[in-house]
Amino acid sequence: MTGRIRIIIADDQALVRGAVAALLSLQADIEVVAECADGAETVDAARRLEPHVCLLDIEMPGMDGLTATQAIRALPNPPKVLIVTTFGRIGYLKRALDAGASGFTVKTAPAGELAAAVRRVHRGLRAIDPVLARESLSSGTNPLTARECDVLRLSLTGNTIAGIAGHLGLSPGTVRNHISHAIAKTHAVTRTEAAVTAREHGWI
């Protein structure tokens, strides 16, 4: 491929976003064409600007990075996606790859490694943080069902059983069953503990 690699950087923290943009702009073969603060803004920018690579954080307001990855990869001329996050969790890595990301690295990576990851995914290759890659080989898969993940995700925001049931269109009894199963699978004592455990593993 010839020419500079056109990239979009998405992170809800302005200082982090600006620092990454400044560091990558120093690379002769990389051009930052946009900086975005959330997933929806990134999808729109990717549609308009047709970059080669989008660098996405995971936890952003509104549309998160994983949802944005799916939307970006569904565009007519989709750019590659490289997840750059604070949260180096196996669950997040697996979910990012399932969403269509080509790479996954952490914000603590040196600028040279981040630039190398951008070049690698631009060439159509995978770029995975080596520590996470090794851990993923020995870790188990997410034991929770999609509905159990939904219930625990809502539990983290302080919803009551009735509130979760209303939000998901389920009966309170069904919600309690999902919570009971999730507690057992995460070896927790309470639903809050189960939700925190699931979050720490990147399952929700």
Residue 196 or 122, more confident = 122
At 1, the pLDDT band (50, 70, 90 cuts) reads very low
CATH number, domain containing residue 163: 1.10.10.10
Q: Look over the chain and give the mean of its residue pLDDT values, rounded to a whole number.
A: 90
pLDDT band at 197 (very low <50, low <70, confident <90, very high): confident
Q: Are residues 108 and 160 in the same domain?
A: no
Highest mean pLDDT among 2-11, 129-138, 187-196: 2-11
Task: Specify whether the CB–CB gap between 1 and 7 falls below 8 A.
Answer: no
Confidence band, pLDDT 50/70/90 cuts, at residue 39: very high
More reliable by pLDDT, 111 or 79: 79
What residues form DSSP beta bridges with 35? 9
The region of weakest confidence among 2-6, 42-46, 108-112, 140-144 is 140-144
Total tally of structural domains belonging to the chain:
2
pLDDT of the residue at 140: 60
Side-chain half-sphere CA neighbours of 194 within 13 A: 25
Structure-model confidence comparison of residues 135 and 201, the more confident one = 201
Element spanning 188, H or E:
none
Question: Is 10 in the same domain as 63?
Answer: yes
Longest CA span, the chain = 59
Domain boundary among 118, 138, 158: 138
Task: Identify the domain boundary among 89, 105, 138.
Answer: 138
**Looking at per-residue confidence, does 203 or 167 come out higher?**
167
Cα–Cα distance for residue pair 57/67, rounded to 1 Å:
11
Residue 176 has pLDDT above 60, yes or no: yes
65 in the same domain as 10: yes
- In angstroms, how far is CA 6 from the centroid of its own chain? 21
| Percentage of residues of the chain with pLDDT beyond 70 | 95
Q: Could you report the per-residue pLDDT of 126-159, keeping only the tens digit for each?
A: 888 877 766 665 556 788 899 999 999 999 988 9
105: domain CATH number? 3.40.50.2300
Interval 52-107: pLDDT, tens: 999 999 999 999 999 999 999 999 999 999 999 987 777 888 889 889 999 999 88
